């Protein structure tokens, strides 16, 4: 039974609520950078209002920009299921997947962007387009003086040539592009900025919790709070290698007592999720110390509690975008064992903020090491928390947008 | 900061990171990239990297990559020992970094083309500053202002200032020396070790040096 005191929904934070976390000096810096932008207007455009990391970030970022005096609107692209099937195929192809288009796909993409271009008003000083779905809205810039920025949240290092060849001319009409890692970029004729994705320390997923609530969540799932807990939080996706995590756990169990928690859910747009979940349950094969938790998408407080209760957190992905679940774990001061893929090495500096691994055996070895060396685990957790505080909080994202707006204003 | 008898004008400073298309997959390519990269790139990987050095073994990005991606520990240590405080121009800084790499590659030619574990991504620094209202006319006011600055601004005034001023000093010492004539406290600030302190530690040491003069 979840107690009520910790599960009370948090109100939407204001900028001042971040002061105890980032300090008055950093807050004053944000206000100072926003001050010259108070007569400016910005617009953020993405493809979805709910669900997904981008919507989560914009949900906080847009109110904070407005509170700092930079009038910012958030517009969401409208389109039918057929359009989003096309953009999903584009998304997978940009990540390096295969691509077998139907003849009308490129035309449909342009037509939906064109409808939205006529629906939306672009009379702002800055227009930020998130990800590829609304890319062709940049056609609107011909008649306007706004600065256009493309915020690419995905890894573009190995795009399918057909899709990239189609989208690239749109990208190069922007004033600049933002990427999450230098390794995610392409050679482009426009400036490319580095901005890390961030987590919100005041969101349900990350905010401080009452220890009694944490214990109640752990017990609710039948996990023993008095024994070591090794956890991976990820949707049930083969790229997150949940079966590999079980294999690593079995290697650990030859030498050390612990329980394994695999907590996640299936994304609604991932038809393989159910199949992978069954594979994971089969691999767990009735081991009472393996807890496979298929949680609904609104389980932010439960995930938060499970992370806080964990002795070690694992992220043994085979491929990864930026992998913000790692920052979520580090923020909670947990020691992390993670695969050196995607954006994870930016967050986990080996032996400083966590431990990087390249195999199932490596993951098992480092989990054993942390279970046997709690002082080292604690130090890694403390460093990790500080690293996230300095680089991966939403206030950093806010600052980068303010700086970019200032830089573009100066240039124009 | 060059005006004499002028108040110290505080700013709020930060920066954007621009990802350059140039990448180095070998030490030879790094050396070549270093000869042609922009001053803003050189600055980013040496001066600006001092901001986050407490997480890595070396503060120079070039030294860190040479160690972790090329496994060339000896060269990495030599690159790490290049002290940005000895360089007041980018030409000096560029020479100070390229020379040990060239020397290493001449002694060990096979290292030039050995593939690194991961590429070095050249980035650039775009500094942005906005004036803050407060100014300082006395040492006490300077200390109060420093106390309220965010850490990136401390970095701007105390570390990045060297290339900006083309002097082996920092904004605070420069102002104290030229406007208050307090050479002793200016020298004490100049002696603070920017390599062995975090930015928080730097602020504490700066304030301690100033306050010892104020309350002497």
Q: Tell me which chain B residues have a C-beta less than 8 angstroms from the C-beta of A387.
A: 55
Q: Are residues B192 and B156 in the same domain?
A: yes
The answer, yes or no, to whether residue A266 has pLDDT greater than 80, is no
Contact state of B16 with A403 under an 8 Å Cβ cutoff: yes
Q: Is B204 on the interface with A (CB under 8 A)?
A: no
Average per-residue pLDDT in chain B? 90
The answer, yes or no, to whether residue B4 has pLDDT greater than 60, is no
Which pLDDT value is given to residue B2?
Answer: 45
Quote the pTM value.
Answer: 0.90
pLDDT top residue among A261 and A276? A261
What are A67-82's pLDDT values in tens digits? 999 999 999 999 999 9
- Bridge partners of residue A72, in order along the sequence: A42
- Rg (chain A; Cα; Å): 22
Average per-residue pLDDT in chain A? 92
Handedness of CA A89, A93, A95, A97 (dihedral sign): positive
Distance from CA of B88 to the nearest CA of A (A): 26
Number of structural domains (chain B) is 2
What are B38-76's pLDDT values in tens digits? 999 999 999 887 776 667 778 899 999 999 999 999 999
* Rounded distance between C-alpha atoms, residue A46 and residue A63, angstroms: 16
**pLDDT above 90 as % of chain A:** 79
Judge whether B66 lies within some domain.
Answer: yes
**Domain stops at, among B82, B97, B124:** B124
**Domain stops at, among B96, B124, B152:** B124
Which pLDDT value is given to residue A10?
Answer: 61
- Mutation pick from B9, B17, B19, B55 vs chain A, by most beta carbons of A within 10 Å, is B19
Nearest CA in chain A to B51: A390
Q: Tell me which chain A residues have a C-beta less than 8 angstroms from the C-beta of B151.
A: 25-26
- Mutation pick from A24, A25, A150, A186 vs chain B, by most beta carbons of B within 10 Å, is A25
Residue A303's nearest CA partner among A322, A319, A272, A324 is A324
pLDDT band (50, 70, 90) for residue A3: very low
The answer, yes or no, to whether residue A272 has pLDDT greater than 80, is no
Q: Are residues B29 and B74 in the same domain?
A: yes
Question: Which among B16, B17, B148 has the least Cβ separation from residue A28?
Answer: B148
Overall average pLDDT of the A22-49 stretch? 95
pLDDT band (50, 70, 90) for residue B207: very high
Nearest CA in chain A to B68: A350
The answer, yes or no, to whether residue A209 has pLDDT greater than 80, is yes
Q: Are residues B21 and B111 in the same domain?
A: yes
Judge whether B158 lies within some domain.
Answer: yes
What are B139-176's pLDDT values in tens digits? 999 999 999 999 999 999 998 888 777 878 899 999 99
Q: At a CB cut-off of 8 Å and minimum separation 6, what does A198 contact?
A: A57, A324, A327, A392, A393, A394, A395, A396, A397
Which pLDDT value is given to residue A5?
Answer: 43
Distance from CA of A397 to the nearest CA of B (A): 11
Q: What is the ipTM of this complex?
A: 0.90
Q: Are residues B184 and B153 in the same domain?
A: yes
Instruction: Name the interface residues of A facing B (CB cutoff 8 Å).
Output: 23-26, 28-29, 32-33, 35-36, 179, 182-183, 185, 187-188, 191-194, 349, 352-353, 383, 387, 390-391, 399-400, 403-404, 406-407
The answer, yes or no, to whether residue A228 has pLDDT greater than 90, is yes
The answer, yes or no, to whether residue A9 has pLDDT greater than 90, is no
Residue A332's nearest CA partner among A161, A179, A207 is A207
Contact state of A32 with B12 under an 8 Å Cβ cutoff: yes
The answer, yes or no, to whether residue A149 has pLDDT greater than 70, is yes
**Domain stops at, among B70, B97, B124:** B124
Distance from CA of B17 to the nearest CA of A (A): 5
- Mutation pick from A37, A157, A182 vs chain B, by most beta carbons of B within 10 Å, is A182
Overall average pLDDT of the B196-212 stretch? 91
pLDDT band (50, 70, 90) for residue A4: very low
- Mutation pick from A22, A30, A32, A399 vs chain B, by most beta carbons of B within 10 Å, is A32
The CATH 3.40.50.2000 domain(s) of chain A lie at 4-198+393-411, 211-391
The answer, yes or no, to whether residue B16 has pLDDT greater than 70, is yes
Question: Which among A182, A187, A390 has the least Cβ separation from residue B123?
Answer: A182
The answer, yes or no, to whether residue B78 has pLDDT greater than 80, is yes
Q: Are residues B87 and B163 in the same domain?
A: no
Q: Is B15 on the interface with A (CB under 8 A)?
A: yes
Q: How far is CA A36 from CA A61, A410, B131, B132, in A?
A: 18, 11, 10, 11
- Tokens representing A399 are 């600052």
Residue A46's nearest CA partner among A155, A107, A135, A161 is A135
Q: Are residues B54 and B151 in the same domain?
A: no
Contact state of B55 with A23 under an 8 Å Cβ cutoff: no
Q: Are residues B143 and B82 in the same domain?
A: no
Choose the weakest-confidence range: A136-150, A258-272, A315-329, A367-381.
A258-272
pLDDT band (50, 70, 90) for residue B122: very high
Distance from CA of A396 to the nearest CA of B (A): 11
pLDDT band (50, 70, 90) for residue B86: confident
Judge whether B1 lies within some domain.
Answer: no
Question: A4-198+393-411: which CATH topology?
Answer: Rossmann fold (3.40.50)
* Rounded distance between C-alpha atoms, residue B175 and residue B135, angstroms: 12
Which pLDDT value is given to residue A204?
Answer: 94
Burial category of A314 from C-beta neighbours within 10 Å (exposed 0-12, middle 13-18, buried 19 and up): buried
Q: Are residues B119 and B138 in the same domain?
A: no
- Structural domain of residue B65, as residue ranges? 14-124
Residue B43's nearest CA partner among B151, B122, B154 is B122
The answer, yes or no, to whether residue B179 has pLDDT greater than 70, is yes
Judge whether B167 lies within some domain.
Answer: yes
Nearest CA in chain B to A348: B55
Q: Are residues B66 and B118 in the same domain?
A: yes
Q: Are residues B77 and B49 in the same domain?
A: yes
Q: Are residues B120 and B68 in the same domain?
A: yes
Overall average pLDDT of the A308-312 stretch? 98
Distance from CA of A411 to the nearest CA of B (A): 12
Distance from CA of B128 to the nearest CA of A (A): 7
What are A212-225's pLDDT values in tens digits? 999 999 999 999 99
Question: A211-391: which CATH topology?
Answer: Rossmann fold (3.40.50)
pLDDT band (50, 70, 90) for residue A270: low
Judge whether B59 lies within some domain.
Answer: yes
Q: Report DSSP state, residue A235.
A: -
Which pLDDT value is given to residue A35?
Answer: 96
Q: Are residues B119 and B147 in the same domain?
A: no
Distance from CA of B41 to the nearest CA of A (A): 13
């Amino acid at each position: 039974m979840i107690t009520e005191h910790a599960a009370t929904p948090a109100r939407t934070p204001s900028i001042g609520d971040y002061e105890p976390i980032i300090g008055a000096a950093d807050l004053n810096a944000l206000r100072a950078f926003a001050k010259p932008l108070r007569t400016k207007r910005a617009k953020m455009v993405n493809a979805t209002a709910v669900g997904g990391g981008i919507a989560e970030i914009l949900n906080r970022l847009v109110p904070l920009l407005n509170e700092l005096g930079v009038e910012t609107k958030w517009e969401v692209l409208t389109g039918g299921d057929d359009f989003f099937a096309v953009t999903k195929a584009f998304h997978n192809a940009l990540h390096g997947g295969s691509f077998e288009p139907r003849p009308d796909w490129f035309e449909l993409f342009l037509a939906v962007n064109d409808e939205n271009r006529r629906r939306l008003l672009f009379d702002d000083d800055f227009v930020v387009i998130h990800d590829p779905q609304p890319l062709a809205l940049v056609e609107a810039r011909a008649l306007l003086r706004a600065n256009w920025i493309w915020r690419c949240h995905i890894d573009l290092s190995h795009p399918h040539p057909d899709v990239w060849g189609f989208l690239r001319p749109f990208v190069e009409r922007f004033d600049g592009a933002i990427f999450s890692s230098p390794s995610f970029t392409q050679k482009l004729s426009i400036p490319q900025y580095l901005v890390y994705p961030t987590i919100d320390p005041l969101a349900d997923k990350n905010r401080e919790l009452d220890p009694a609530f944490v214990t109640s969540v752990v017990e609710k799932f039948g996990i023993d709070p008095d024994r070591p807990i090794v956890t991976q939080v990820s949707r049930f996706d083969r790229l997150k290698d949940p079966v590999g995590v079980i294999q690593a756990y079995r290697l650990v169990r030859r030498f050390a007592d612990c329980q394994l928690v695999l907590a996640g859910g299936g994304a609604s747009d991932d038809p393989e999720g159910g199949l992978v979940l069954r594979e994971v349950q089969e691999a767990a094969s009735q081991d009472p110390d393996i807890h496979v938790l298929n949680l609904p998408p609104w389980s932010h407080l439960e995930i938060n509690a499970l992370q806080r209760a964990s002795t070690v957190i694992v992220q043994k992905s085979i491929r990864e975008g930026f992998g913000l679940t790692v920052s979520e774990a580090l923020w909670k001061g947990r020691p992390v064992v993670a695969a050196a893929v995607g954006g994870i090495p930016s967050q986990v500096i080996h032996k400083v903020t966590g431990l990087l691994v390249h195999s199932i055996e490596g993951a098992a070895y480092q989990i054993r090491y942390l279970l046997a060396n709690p002082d080292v685990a604690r130090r890694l957790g403390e460093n990790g928390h500080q690293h996230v505080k300095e680089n991966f909080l939403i206030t950093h994202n806010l600052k980068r947008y303010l700086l970019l707006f200032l830089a573009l204003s100066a240039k124009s | 900061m060059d005006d004499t008898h002028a108040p110290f004008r505080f700013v709020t400073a930060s920066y954007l990171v621009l990802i350059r298309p140039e990448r180095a997959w070998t030490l030879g390519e790094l050396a070549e990239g270093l000869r042609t990269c922009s001053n803003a790139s050189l600055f980013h990987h040496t001066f600006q990297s001092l901001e986050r050095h407490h997480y890595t073994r070396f503060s120079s990005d070039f030294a860190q990559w040479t160690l972790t991606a090329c496994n060339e520990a000896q060269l990495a240590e030599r690159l790490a020992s290049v002290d940005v405080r000895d360089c007041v121009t980018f030409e000096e800084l560029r020479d100070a970094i390229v020379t040990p790499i060239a020397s290493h590659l001449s002694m060990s030619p096979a290292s030039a083309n050995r593939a690194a574990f991961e590429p070095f991504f050249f980035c650039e620094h775009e500094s942005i500053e906005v004036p803050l209202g407060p100014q300082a006319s006395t040492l006490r006011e300077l200390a109060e202002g420093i106390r309220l600055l965010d850490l990136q601004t401390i970095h701007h005034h105390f570390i990045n200032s060297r290339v900006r001023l083309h002097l082996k000093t920092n904004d605070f010492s420069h102002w104290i020396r030229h406007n208050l004539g307090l050479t002793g406290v200016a020298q004490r600030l100049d002696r603070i070790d920017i390599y062995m302190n975090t930015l928080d530690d730097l602020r504490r040491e700066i304030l301690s040096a100033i306050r010892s003069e104020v309350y002497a």
